[in-house]
């Protein structure tokens, strides 16, 4: 190991460690060459790369040792009852983030992990231009905040922060995306959603920018809390036209919040966010930790180009929060390293290409078509045989029974009321999409085995489905899922295991 050791607090140049923690650290472990010291002296951008494969257990052990030294007598000391919860699940850290009602304040015990978790995330998201490696980053972003809430709740937090700055605002203009949590975030934050339908361009659904502008001027910009756009979504919807919306937001002085739920894993999504901020207004963009960084559900990253706004978002959050999502993220990012992440991002892109190619092959055999959606880098859609809606549900169930999760069969004629708004064609991002389809996505961590298995099972289901439809049309028996289906599905699963 030829890593440079840091020997004094004076070597800490780049703010990797909060000053309070650093004082504490240098006082309590003067003689120890702890692994944290190696980390703390490196330039922010390189640190993560250097830390690839450093035993994380060492780091956690070190934190535990710290914890033992502390004599805690406040109400927030975490005395943990059950041993496995204490040592197994939490590394002897009753880890949480925040103090005295403020999530941004560092507490001593797990301070470094929380703090570095945040920093590492910023490195991935918005690294310095000079660094050699290039994860899919947004440059010149000034701030990010990792919070232990999923994306929908983080969007709520952003909207509530906007409210404090625009007290008379009532509306959020929302470019339609058929995903419940982002739509619900608007009503949960106490705003009325103004739904702007998408425009059909070829097979693809895109942002209706003139309609957004019309709504802004009709409703009066002052009454509008924000415009909410989305990058990552199910095909056949494409990435929103972020640059054009950002330009409108700058023109009318209206905040712009971007739902980037699973967009970090794709450079196109990140690139458009960066461009949008360059030509117009972007107040915050929010992404999920589980969807982008291969950790369990529970966290998201709220990022933006104005550090003050992001700080305000942090201040809006009432109280402390669980540090577990951050700990997961911290451990994961350290073990991945930037190179590891870059590799995963590259592989994902290849998987997307492979997925589309194989679906195209399959589609040909069944006289179906993969929809042309070039502005969606993650998800893809393929038409399904045209039958009545209830039969389509059956195709969905077939796939589900065969352990294919994440694919959706969209009938395009479903009606659904969510938070008081009636959506026609729910699931298809449009009230009049012309034909039913199914979707599949290539997300980070996916392997070619996953793609092969999906194609194999999809083929089986399509085969069965087509035969069955044919049979049904020739007889009066309209059976639903048969026991045979179930047995076969179980067998399939066993073969895999």
Ligand X SMILES: *Cc1c(COP(=O)(O)O)cnc(C)c1O
Binding site, by residue number, is 99, 278, 320, 402
Which helix (H) or strand (E) is 301 found in, with range? strand 300-304
Verify binding: residue 233, ligand X, rule CB under 6 A. Answer: yes
Separation between Cα atoms, residue 311 and residue 302, nearest integer Å: 10
Q: How far is the CB of 179 from ligand X (least distance, A)?
A: 4
Cα separation values, 93 from 300, 413, 494, Å: 21, 51, 39
Query: Whose Cβ is closer to ligand X: residue 78's or residue 316's?
Result: 316
Question: Which of 36, 209, 224, 261 touches ligand X (CB under 6 A)?
Answer: 261
Q: Which is nearer to ligand X, 135 or 152 (CB)?
A: 152
Site string for ligand X, 112-151 (x = CB under 6 A): --------------------------------------xx
**Which of the ranges 126-134, 166-174, 227-235, 363-371 carries the binding residues for ligand X, by CB under 6 A?**
227-235
Residues 6+ apart with CB under 8 A from 19: none
The answer to whether 345 and 360 have CB atoms below 8 angstroms apart is: no
Query: Closest CB to ligand X among 48 and 182?
Result: 182
Binding positions for substrate are 99, 320
Determine the size of the site formed for ligand X (CB under 6 A). 14
Q: Output the smallest distance, CB 416 to ligand X, in A.
A: 16
Burial of 261 (0-12, 13-18, 19+ CB in 10 A): buried
Q: Which of residues 265-304 bind ligand X (CB under 6 A)?
A: 288
259 binding ligand X? (CB under 6 A): yes
- Distances in Å between the Cα of 303 and the Cα atoms of 147, 283, 338, 496 are 11, 9, 19, 40
DSSP codes of every residue in 114-152: HHHHHHHHHHHHS--TT-S---S--TT--EEEEESS-HH
Nearer to ligand X, 151 or 274 (CB): 151
First to last CA, the chain: 41
User: 26 or 181: whose CB is closer to ligand X?
Assistant: 181
Per-residue contact string for residues 144-183; x = within reach of ligand X by CB under 6 A: ------xxx------------------------x-x-xx-
Least distance from ligand X to the Cβ atom of residue 135, Å:
21
Residue with CB nearest ligand X? 152
Record the tokens describing residue 493, joined without a space: 């699963």
d(CA 88, CA 21): 25
Closer of 47 and 355 to ligand X (Cβ): 355
> From the annotation, which residues make up the binding site for tRNA?
278, 402
Report the distance separating Cα 452 and Cα 38, nearest Å.
43
Radius of gyration of the chain (CA): 25
CB 287 within 8 A of CB 182: no
Contacts of residue 316, Cβ cutoff 8 Å, sequence gap at least 6: 157, 160, 161, 164
Q: Which residues share a beta bridge with 468?
A: none
Contact stretch for ligand X (CB under 6 A) within 9-17, 197-205, 208-216, 228-236? 228-236
Stretch that binds ligand X, among 200-208, 257-265, 304-312, 438-446 (CB under 6 A): 257-265
How many CB atoms are closer than 10 A to CB 260? 31
Q: Is 336 in the site for ligand X (CB under 6 A)?
A: no
Return the number of the residue (39 or 293) whose C-beta is nearest ligand X.
293
Using CB under 6 A as the binding rule, whether residue 198 contacts ligand X is answered as: no
Q: Which is nearer to ligand X, 262 or 465 (CB)?
A: 262
Interface residue list for ligand X (CB under 6 A): 150-152, 177, 179, 181-182, 230, 232-233, 259, 261-262, 288
């Amino acid at each position: 190991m030829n890593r440079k050791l840091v020997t004094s607090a004076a070597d800490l140049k780049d703010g990797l460690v909060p000053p309070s923690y650093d004082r504490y650290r240098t006082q309590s472990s003067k003689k120890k060459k702890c692994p944290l010291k190696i980390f703390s002296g490196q330039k922010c951008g390189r640190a993560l790369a250097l830390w690839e494969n450093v035993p994380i257990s060492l780091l956690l052990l070190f934190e535990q040792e710290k914890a033992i030294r502390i004599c805690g007598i406040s109400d927030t000391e975490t005395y943990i009852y059950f041993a496995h919860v204490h040592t197994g699940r939490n590394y002897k850290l009753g880890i949480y983030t925040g103090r005295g009602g403020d999530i941004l304040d560092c507490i001593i015990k797990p301070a470094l992990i929380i703090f570095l978790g945040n920093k590492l995330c910023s490195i991935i998201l918005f690294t310095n231009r000079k660094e050699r490696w290039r994860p899919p980053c947004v440059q010149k972003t000034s701030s990010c905040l990792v919070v232990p809430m999923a994306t929908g709740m983080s969007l709520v937090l952003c909207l509530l922060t906007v409210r404090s700055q625009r007290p008379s605002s009532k509306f959020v203009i929302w470019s339609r995306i058929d995903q419940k949590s982002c739509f619900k975030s608007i009503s949960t934050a106490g705003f009325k959603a103004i739904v702007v339908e998408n425009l059909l361009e070829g097979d693809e659904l895109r942002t209706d920018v003139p309609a957004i502008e019309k709504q802004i001027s009709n409703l009066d910009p002052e009454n509008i809390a924000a415009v909410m756009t989305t990058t990552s979504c199910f095909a056949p919807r494409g990435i929103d036209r972020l640059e054009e919306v950002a330009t409108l937001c700058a023109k009318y002085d209206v905040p712009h919040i971007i739902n980037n739920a699973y967009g970090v894993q794709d450079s196109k999504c990140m690139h458009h966010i960066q461009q949008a901020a360059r030509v117009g207004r972007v107040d915050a963009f929010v992404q999920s930790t589980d969807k982008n960084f291969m950790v369990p559900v529970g966290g998201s990253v709220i990022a933006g180009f104005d550090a003050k706004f992001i700080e305000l978002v942090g201040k809006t959050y009432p109280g402390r929060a669980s540090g577990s999502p951050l700990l997961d993220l911290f451990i994961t990012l350290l073990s991945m390293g930037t190179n590891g992440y870059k590799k995963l991002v590259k592989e994902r892109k290849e998987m997307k290409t492979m997925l589309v190619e194989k679906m195209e092959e399959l589609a040909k055999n069944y006289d179906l078509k993969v929809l042309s959606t070039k502005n969606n880098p993650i998800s893809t859609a393929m038409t399904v045989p045209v039958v009545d809606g209830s039969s389509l549900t059956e195709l969905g169930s077939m796939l589900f029974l065969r352990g294919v999760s994440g694919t959706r069969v969209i009938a395009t004629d479903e009606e659904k009321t969510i938070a008081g708004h009636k959506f026609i064609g729910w699931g298809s991002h449009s009230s009049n999409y012309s034909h039913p389809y199914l979707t599949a996505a290539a997300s980070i961590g996916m392997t070619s085995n996953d793609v092969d298995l999906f194609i194999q099972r999809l083929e089986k289901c399509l085969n069965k489905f087509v035969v069955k439809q044919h049979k049904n049309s020739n007889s009066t028996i309209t059976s639903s899922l048969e026991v045979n289906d179930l047995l076969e599905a179980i067998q399939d699963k066993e073969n895999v295991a």
